[in-house]
Amino acid sequence: MKRVRQYQIVIVNLDPIIGSEIKKTRPCVVISPDEMNKPLNTVIIAPITSKSKPYPTRVEIEVRKHQNWVVIDQIRIIDKKRIVKIGDYLKKGEIIRIKEVLKETLID
């Protein structure tokens, strides 16, 4: 079982998809807490895209010196078998902004 941590960037194969879901193998951010990530075979992820409009559910981040967006409106639960590669962690400011948008989107 792959060991992933919250706010880590992972490369995920999101296919097959249905309708307007984000597709292909792409970077995603693990947003599920480590207390879930360790024992379960699934994780909650938010896809990352390099092209976005300024939606309130998109959080701008920098990946390899390029502007990208975490797509909070497309969060999904995936099996860890979909993870192709494990990468770096988000920066502290990016994590804070993701937490704010998650709270605003899902709770408030």
Domain boundaries along the sequence of the chain: 8-106
> Looking at residue 17, what is its pLDDT?
87
pLDDT in tens, 5-58: 999 999 999 999 899 988 899 999 999 999 999 999 999 999 999 987 778 999
The class (CATH top level) of 8-106 is: mainly beta
- The values of phi and psi at residue 99, to 5°, are -60, -45
Mean per-residue pLDDT for 68-90? 96
- Predicted TM-score (pTM) of the model is 0.92
For the chain, list the strands marked E by DSSP: 8-13, 25-30, 42-49, 58-63, 66-71, 76-79, 83-89
